[in-house]
Amino acid sequence: MSKAKKLRFFISYSHKNIKYKDKLLESLSALEQSYNIESWHDGMIRAGENIDKNVTNSLSKSHIILLLITDSYLASYYCMKIELEKAIEREKKGECIVIPVMFQESVLSETLDFFKHNRVPQDGKPIATGFKNQSLGCTRAVNMIKDLLDDKFPEYKKANPKTTSKKRNDLFEGNTNTLYMELYKNLKLTQIPITQSIIDTIPKCYRSINIFRTMMEQSLIKAKKKYSITYKELDKKMPESKKLELLRMYLMDICAYTKTYITENVGIKVHFRASKGDSYLGLIASTDNDDNIDLSSDWTTKMTPIPIYKGLIYYSSKLHAPLIKSLNIKQNFKGNNDKIWKDYVTFTFPKFHAGETPLISFGISVHKDYYKIKGDILITLAYLNLGDIIEKYIYDYCEMCKRIDKTYDLEQIINII
């Protein structure tokens, strides 16, 4: 079998911005789930090899050339006069596409070769300074790049495994009402039928979850490095408030990656809640307005508290079953957002409990205006055990922190909210 053709990316960056380059590569790796791509940068040149020759050779073969725009990039002779000029020359011949990726808010002159190019993220909002969470900024940029690939380079798409009609018949055994899953609803475990619409959604969600896993593995590595550095900087005496801040940052990644790669951004709210007294309080949330103010807000005061009582959260956790918003008036807590968010699914985690009370939960809500087109995703994600995957990454994070800091205790951290 011959190897699939590769869509080649060239990363043009200043060596003063290696961290930005690594962050972008981390997000670009998600494209490998759906496209046959390979990325190149000069950090891949081996000892003893000719730098100019390698750069020129890679530039001449690349389809997409990404410019990591910062003040350091604009001040770099090699970036501006060698790499950029050759890239623009090829683009004028129709041999490649040049995309400026805005990492810093820099003063751009109209004389710059890329001045009239459409920049990413949207409207050229700088990733390093315009987003509280840089992962969100990078994924926004990569999403725009993916839209370009879908339009201009469909021939490089990987073949998607298709569910055959025979396999579907095997699942349903000739009856679309014979396949069920159990969710907690209306005071008890309830058998929810897996409809044909949900079956059609499963392959797409499955692929999306795999991309999400890839991004979360990278996020975990980043979080480990951040915790370790902070721990040493504070002379191994990290206050609980700082631990909470770092936990929020990690949960921000989970929220952002869930929306970017699994549910899509529009019409969906993704959030974490933590137990506090008799209520679940918002810990962090990602809504349709994911800007730095939104993501950095203290959601313990902004999200509607949900009371902890047997039937809403407690039994869902005890029975290890995702909770679908109950239609039973006695069980459905009427909060401030009920008129906006039509339905929700909540995942609680057996590994994280304060006594019999689930310590933390993860929720996804669908906006009332999008329920008809996105409602099935709630049951699909429950069917694919998304909650177990989220629990794994929170557990891995906590275990990683404990290896660095033996005093790390999630219950103690949440108690300071």
DSSP 328-360: STTTS---TTTTTEEEEEEEE-TTSEETTEESE
Q: Where are the domains of the chain?
A: 7-156, 180-415
Return the pLDDT at 300.
62
Would you tell me the crossing angle of helices 376-383 and 196-233 to the nearest 10 degrees?
A: 70
pTM exceeds cut of 0.75: no
Identify any residues that bridge with 69 across adjacent strands, giving them in sequence order.
Answer: 102
Topology agreement, domain 7-156 and domain 180-415: no
- In this predicted model, what pLDDT tens digit does every residue of 134-151 receive, in sequence order? 777 887 888 889 889 988
Return the pLDDT at 292.
42
Would you tell me the crossing angle of helices 240-257 and 386-404 to the nearest 10 degrees?
A: 150
8 A C-beta contact, residue 66 and residue 10? yes
User: What superfamily would CATH give domain 7-156?
Assistant: Toll/interleukin-1 receptor homology (TIR) domain (3.40.50.10140)
371-375-377 Cα angle (round to 5): 145
CA distances from 274 to 37, 108, 349, 416 (A): 40, 45, 11, 11
Using alpha carbons, select from 336, 275, 269, 351 the residue that is nearest to residue 309: 275
Listed as ranges, residues in the chain with pLDDT below 50 are 1-2, 161-177, 290-296, 327-329
- In this predicted model, what pLDDT tens digit does every residue of 362-379 receive, in sequence order? 999 888 787 777 878 888
Task: Give the whole-angstrom CA distance, residue 321 versus residue 180.
Answer: 13
* Residue found by looking up tokens 């994280």 in the block: 352
Pick the CATH number of 180-415 from 3.40.50, 3.30.390, 3.30.450, 3.90.25: 3.30.450
